[in-house]
Amino acid sequence: MSAVLALVEQESGEPAETSLESLTLARDVADAADAALEAVVFGDEGAAVAEDVGAYGVEVVHHVTHDRLDGYAPEAWGDAVAQLASAGATEAVLAPGSDRGQETMAHAGASLDLPVAANCTDVDVGDEYEVERQRWGGSLVEHARLAAETTLVTVAEHEVRMEPAAEPTDPGVEGFTPNLDDDQFRVTVDRVEPSDTEGVPLGEARVVVAGGRGVGNAEDFDQLEELADLLGGTVGASRAAVNEGWRPHDDQVGLTGAKISPDLYVACGISGAVQHMIGCKGADNILAINTDPDAAIIQQGEYAVIADLHEVVPALSEAIRDAE
């Protein structure tokens, strides 16, 4: 029986959300191709994902180990995935559209000399595969045909809803030691510098209060900071606000900034251009505060207040303080 491999990123044995999204799509592919769904994990604690990915129907967890593989090494990861794919009959390999997922699959594709379809949202199995993938950060959908011995795919982040399998499995963990030499370890994470920004990192915040051109100046972001603090969240910004120099680029949400998935995204004075929405559509709830009732963000969000943010945001902060 052939296999569909799914790259699962983990931290402390816990699979990343976007990996579970791509695992969900990988299961659909495996079902349609009548193949076994198998996970690929790296890291000392990699084997610990077994139970979590079993909930998604994974039959085997390939735990990649190598005495030199103690951190992230893009070329080593890509070649390990390529070697694992070549070791058996591999129908397809799917990875999340994260930085590491994209980079690993680019290496795997180069290593196998096969095409990679990046940022897919749907995969149709056949002798030749048909995929739907994002162009322009999701502003356009491309339908493409992919014909290769092994179909290599990355899955657009926050597009496929993660969904556990109807029948959970109890996957076995199999060690896999790739054949790697010095070249594949030329580039590794040498060290990690902690962020010097205070507060909750954008990618981890449950609440993000973001401001756009409507904020008007750097000083008025204080109003957003205050609300974010009260909600236990952090501040984000649109590309327009960053370009104005009101916020650092690290705060930018959107196509060329962060793609986030908080419980609540409060969009203040942000019109909601497609390039911005790609960064925040993973949010469970979007509350738009905008003076323009026709702004695109109003259509895209769950809740909206038609108002000047400079009036509503401080009033809301005050109300929250009063309620406490």
Partner 1 sequence: MDVLACIKRVPDTGAKIVLTDDEQGIDTSNLGFTMSPHEECAIEAAVQLVEDHGGSSTVLTLGSEEATEQLRTGLAMQVDEARLLETDGEEWGARATAAAIADAVRDGGDDVGYDLLLFGNESADVANHQVGVRVARELGLPVVAGIKDLTVEDGVATAKREVTGGREVYELDLPAVVTVKEGINEPRYASMRSKMHARKQSVDTTSPDRREGPGTFEKLRLEAPETDDSEAEILGDGPDAVPRVLEVLRDEVEVL
Near partner 1 in 261-320, by CB under 8 A: 263-264, 273-274, 284-288, 293, 296, 298-308, 311-312, 315-316, 319-320
Site for partner 1 in 22-51 (CB under 8 A): none
Tokens of 17: 């959300």
Least separation in angstroms between residue 31's CB and partner 1 is 23
Distance CA 107, CA 76 (A): 9
User: Contacting partner 1 (CB under 8 A), which of 54, 137, 171, 214?
Assistant: 137
Q: SS3 for 107?
A: helix
Chain-centroid distance of CA 178 in Å reads: 26
Question: Which residue's CB is nearer to partner 1, number 1 or number 315?
Answer: 315
> In this chain, which stretch among 45-53, 85-93, 166-174, 192-200 interacts with partner 1, using CB under 8 A?
192-200
List 183's β-bridge partners, or say none.
Answer: none
Let me know the angle formed at the C-alpha of 120 by 301 and 149, rounded to the nearest 5 degrees: 170
Stretch that binds partner 1, among 26-34, 40-48, 52-60, 197-205 (CB under 8 A): 197-205
> What span, in angstroms and rounded, lies between the C-alpha atoms of 41 and 39?
7
Residue 267 dihedral angles phi and psi, to the nearest 5°: -100, 110
Q: Which of residues 146-175 bind partner 1 (CB under 8 A)?
A: 146-149, 154
The CB-of-127 to partner 1 minimum distance in angstroms stands at 12
Tokens of 310: 């400079």
Q: Judged by CB, which is closer to partner 1: 86, or 136? A: 136
Nearer residue to partner 1 within complex by CB, 59 or 220 = 220
Of residues 71-130, those binding partner 1 (CB under 8 A): 72, 74-75, 99, 102-103, 105-107, 109-111, 113-119, 130
Q: Are 76 and 104 in contact (CB under 8 A)?
A: no
Burial 38-59 (b: 16+ CB within 10 A, else e): bbbbbbeebbbbbebbbbbbbb
Nearer to partner 1, 19 or 59 (CB): 19
Q: Where does this chain touch partner 1 (CB under 8 A) — which range of 43-51, 164-172, 173-181, 225-233?
A: 225-233
Measured distance CA(209)–CA(22) in Å, rounded: 28
In angstroms, the Cα distances linking 131 to 12, 110, 147 are: 33, 20, 11
Q: For partner 1, give the closer residue by CB, 161 or 170.
A: 161
Which of residues 1 and 147 has its CB atom nearest to partner 1 in the complex? 147
In the set 86, 139, 177, 217, which binds partner 1 (CB under 8 A)? 139
